[in-house]
């Protein structure tokens, strides 16, 4: 990885158990690069796959000199695998794309043209999502709207990580040391001239989604905690409301006592204790979510660990 020659373009794809789709992915991306001309590389990152992904990747690297196969020590998750690929790639422009062909690589020429006109980032914005469940679409829509409300950074709605970025933006991104990475938010935060390109998201070419519900929720919590302290402040708002309600109860009980109509009190007591207990645990959980991330960050461990690289200039 010491070559001084920068390819004009790098295509970076994180891959986790994608053996079925990879050959077709490399073929389609290769064809697009042929069409564009100029120098290009395809950086594939094996995110600790349990299937034959690495073997397929290493073979692609042997067959096609443009392919660089990067193998991580273990599964790091989508965002960190992508970060590993981005730090290895050398292109003057970089296309971030999923390996499952949900985002068509054939849009690249159009993205390049927008960048020729001065865009720093061209991001794919989904008009339609084919072959994804109603639940996935509804949860994604809710997520993009929620994050939009909670943060000051204008994170584009309905845009995944599929985007073309220039070297300036990429270097700024790589200089950000945070460990719980929400890359599309971080790129939006960098600013510059960011331009959308509307497209229809396709169904997966093969294989299953690697984002089960639990991972989606973790990803959403990472995104929100990385870009907003509103949840942390929520305890303040709720505290005010609870204090007002508590004061109401106080007045009510005093008046009741003065009128000699004291209630047995059990129900209201239990209701108040229950409500307060619940709120307190919720707020502790929110504080814990931020504190845990602060702790993780303070350890300063490497974001990813590469075990080997095959292909590319040596
Ligand atoms: N991926 C990864 N590591 C993981 C999970 C996913 O590198 O732990 C990759 C996966 O191979 C794919 C991309 O991230 O190229 C997006 O994942 P997927 O298509 O499963 O997510 P979805 O499109 O269903 O949201
Ligand atoms: Mg996918």
Of the candidates 11, 27, 58, 10, the residue with the CA atom closest to the CA atom of residue 205: 27
- The reported pTM is 0.86
Q: What is the pLDDT of residues 130-160, one digit of tens each?
A: 778 888 888 888 888 888 888 888 889 889 9
**212, two tokens:** 């089960």
CATH number for the region 9-212+306-310 comes to 3.90.550.10
Instruction: Give the position, in ligand 1's atom list, of the atom nearest the Cα of 75.
Output: 8
Spatial distance between the Cα atoms of 159 and 146, rounded to a whole number of angstroms = 14
Q: How far is the CA of 133 from the centre of ligand 1 (A)?
A: 16
Q: What is the pLDDT of residues 52-103, one digit of tens each?
A: 999 999 999 999 999 999 999 999 999 999 999 999 999 999 999 999 999 9
Q: How far is the CA of 221 from the centre of ligand 2 (A)?
A: 20
Q: How far is the CA of 278 from the centre of ligand 2 (A)?
A: 37
pLDDT for 1 beyond 70 = no
Which residues are near ligand 1 (CB < 6 Å)?
A: 13-16, 18, 47, 75, 77-78, 81, 98-100, 102, 209-211
Strand-pairing partners, residue 45, are: 14, 70
Mean pLDDT, residues 169-196 taken together = 95
Stated as kind and residue range, the H or E segment containing 36 is helix 22-36
For residue 102, the ligand closest to its alpha carbon is 2
Spatial distance between the Cα atoms of 255 and 3, rounded to a whole number of angstroms = 83
Spatial distance between the Cα atoms of 86 and 81, rounded to a whole number of angstroms = 9
Q: Which residue is closest in CA terms to ligand 1's atom 23? A: 209
Q: Would you kindly state where each structural domain of the chain is located, as residue ranges?
A: 9-212+306-310, 230-298
- Sequence-distant (6+) residues with CB within 8 A of 47 are 14, 15, 16, 72, 75, 76, 77, 78, 80, 81
């Amino acid at each position: 990885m010491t070559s001084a020659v920068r390819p004009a373009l790098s295509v970076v794809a994180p891959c986790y158990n994608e053996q079925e789709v990879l050959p077709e992915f490399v073929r389609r991306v290769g064809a697009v690069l042929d069409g564009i001309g100029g120098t290009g590389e395809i950086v594939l990152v094996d995110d600790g796959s349990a299937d034959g992904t690495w073997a397929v990747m290493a073979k692609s690297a042997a067959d096609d000199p443009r392919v660089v196969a990067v193998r991580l020590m273990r599964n790091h998750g989508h965002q960190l695998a992508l970060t590993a690929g981005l730090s290895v790639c050398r292109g003057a422009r970089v296309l971030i794309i999923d390996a499952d062909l949900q985002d068509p690589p054939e849009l690249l020429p159009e993205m390049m043209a927008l960048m020729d006109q001065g865009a720093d980032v061209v991001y794919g914005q989904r008009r339609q999502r084919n072959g994804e469940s109603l639940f996935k679409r509804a949860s994604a829509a809710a997520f993009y709207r929620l994050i939009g409300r909670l943060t000051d950074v204008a994170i584009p709605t309905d845009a995944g990580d599929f985007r073309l970025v220039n070297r300036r933006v990429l270097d700024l991104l790589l200089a950000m040391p945070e460990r719980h990475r929400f890359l599309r938010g971080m790129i939006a935060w960098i600013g510059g001239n960011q331009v959308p390109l509307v497209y229809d998201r396709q169904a997966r070419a093969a294989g299953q989604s690697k984002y089960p519900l639990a991972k989606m929720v973790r990803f959403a919590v990472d995104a929100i905690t990385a870009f907003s302290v509103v949840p942390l402040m929520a305890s303040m708002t709720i505290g005010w409301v609870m204090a007002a309600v508590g004061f109401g109860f106080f007045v009510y009980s005093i008046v009741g006592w003065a009128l000699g109509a004291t209630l047995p009190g059990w129900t209201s007591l239990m209701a108040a204790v229950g409500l307060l207990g619940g709120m307190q645990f919720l707020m502790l959980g929110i504080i814990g979510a931020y504190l845990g991330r602060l702790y993780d960050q303070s350890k300063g461990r490497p974001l990813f660990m590469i075990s080997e690289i095959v292909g590319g200039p040596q």
